Amino acid sequence: MGRLPRWGKVAAAGGVVLAGVTISQRVKPLPCPYALRWMTDIPRPYLTRRKVVEILEAQPGERALEVGPGPGYHTFAVAERLEPGGELHVFDIQQKMLDALMQRAAKRGVDNVVPRQGDARRLPYADDSFDAALLVTVLGEIPGQEAALRELHRVIRAGGRVVVGETPALDPHFVRFPVLRRRAEEAGFRFEHRMGPGLAFLARFRRD
């Protein structure tokens, strides 16, 4: 058997490291580090701002929640759709992410985004607080996804929507659609609609 060229060794080593990170993050999930926040701004097929706004069905005057917004890749498109009179509450476990997001909001002149820091398994909101909620490539970062989905069910009003976006691209926390659907339905949501032909998808659930 011949020797691998140098680039082949580098690629193989990179593959081993990536596999190790993926396994580690599956066993003990952690949020995207603040230092890597730039990765959340990389466009991903089927998780575009336009598609997120479309499937969320956000309406002017509504009160919506985005969990794990990072520095705000989808935030401002959703916040704009809620105007006039609506609010988008952004909730993240990392205060630095929220600070970066709010700096962007100030530069854009967006004033209907409300930040709050905390644990998604214990949302600091009253029952029936929101018309809709959004989580894009974040559910898998939460240890105890079932608890987070139950909390979302609690804070979403009857008839409200929850949209979850997932893709395996650059995401070791990827949640497959069958797993997501089972967990969401166990939390009390009803599956309604899916966009995306393959592993990458946006799925909408409704609280009856």
Tokens (6 digits) for 179? 């797993």
Q: Is the dihedral of CA 4, 10, 16, 18 positive or negative?
A: negative
Q: Which of 13-17, 65-69, 99-103, 171-175 has the least mean pLDDT?
A: 13-17
In the numeric block, which tokens belong to residue 175?
């949640």
Strand 130-136 to 63-67 pairing: parallel
Q: Report the pLDDT averaged over residues 117-142.
A: 97
Tell me the helix, strand and coil percentages in the chain, rounded to 5. 40, 25, 35
Whether 21 and 129 have beta carbons less than 8 Å apart is answered as no
Domains identified in the chain and CATH numbers: 36-207 (3.40.50.150)
Distance CA 120, CA 94 (A): 11
Helix count and strand count (H, E) for the chain: 6, 7
CA-CA-CA-CA dihedral for 149, 103, 109, 37, to nearest 10: -50
Token pair listed for 81: 């759709």
pLDDT per residue over 68-78, tens digit each? 999 999 999 99
For 115, list phi and psi in degrees, rounded to 5.
Answer: -90, 150
pTM over 0.95: no
Contacts of range 48-52, beta carbons closer than 8 Å, 24 or more positions apart: 49/73, 49/74, 49/77, 50/77, 51/195, 51/202, 52/77, 52/78, 52/134, 52/136, 52/163, 52/165, 52/202
pLDDT at residue number 42:
64
pLDDT 10s digits, 167-190: 987 668 889 999 999 999 999 999
